[in-house]
Amino acid sequence: MKICRCLIAICAVIVLCTSCVDDSRRSVVMCDVDNRAWAETVNIYYENEDTLSQRKLSLALRFNSDFRCDTLPLMVRVSLPDGRYAKERVDFVINRPYSATAAYTTVTLPYRDCSLLNMSGCYIFSLTPEVEQCGVESIGVIVEK
């Protein structure tokens, strides 16, 4: 009888702990680019439903050994669900982790802290390199609560 109660208690704790896990706290959307010569605009679509939480916006950059830059100059355009947009040029500093054998490296580039996406609907992040880039495999947007 005590074993049965103990098993029920353990199962209840497991259910409570796993129900508190929130997988929606981080969203990553990536898009592959031409790694020989990336020059075209990449559009990243993010569907927003939460209009109250502040978010941290970052870029994820995956590159190979052909990528030699220490700074990635990008034109970033954020289109809002109502059609308005904001556009700016941003220089992202690349901090390369050392890896002698890695074929690919992925880095996170901070973009905006405490951003409020106060409209529900589709936000479009348009990313265009200011100069042609070799060695970039993919780029994306990370949205964290």
Residue 108 CA to residue 96 CA, distance in Å, equals 10
Domain 25-144 has CATH 2.30.110: no
Where exactly are the structural domains of the chain? Answer: 25-144
**Burial track 74-105 (b if 16+ CB lie within 10 A, e otherwise):** bebbbbbeeeeeeeeeeebeeeeeeeeeeeeb
pLDDT of residue 99: 61
- pLDDT level of residue 54 (50, 70, 90 thresholds): very high
Cα angle 60, 65, 68; round to 5: 80
Three-state DSSP at 114 gives strand
What pTM does this model have?
A: 0.78
> Mean pLDDT across the stretch 38-59?
94
Amino acid letter for position 110: P
Q: pLDDT tens for residues 5-45?
A: 444 444 444 444 443 444 568 899 999 999 999 999 999 99
pLDDT in tens, 105-118: 889 999 999 999 99
Phi-psi category of 8—alpha, beta or left, where left has phi over 0 and alpha has psi -120 to 50? alpha
> Does residue 140 register a pLDDT over 90?
yes
Q: How far is CA 98 from CA 4, 59, 61, 62, 95, in A?
A: 53, 20, 16, 14, 9
Q: Are 133 and 38 in contact (CB under 8 A)?
A: yes
Please, what is the average pLDDT of the chain? 84
Q: For 29, list phi and psi in degrees, rounded to 5.
A: -125, 120
The yes-or-no verdict on residue 77 having pLDDT over 80 is: yes
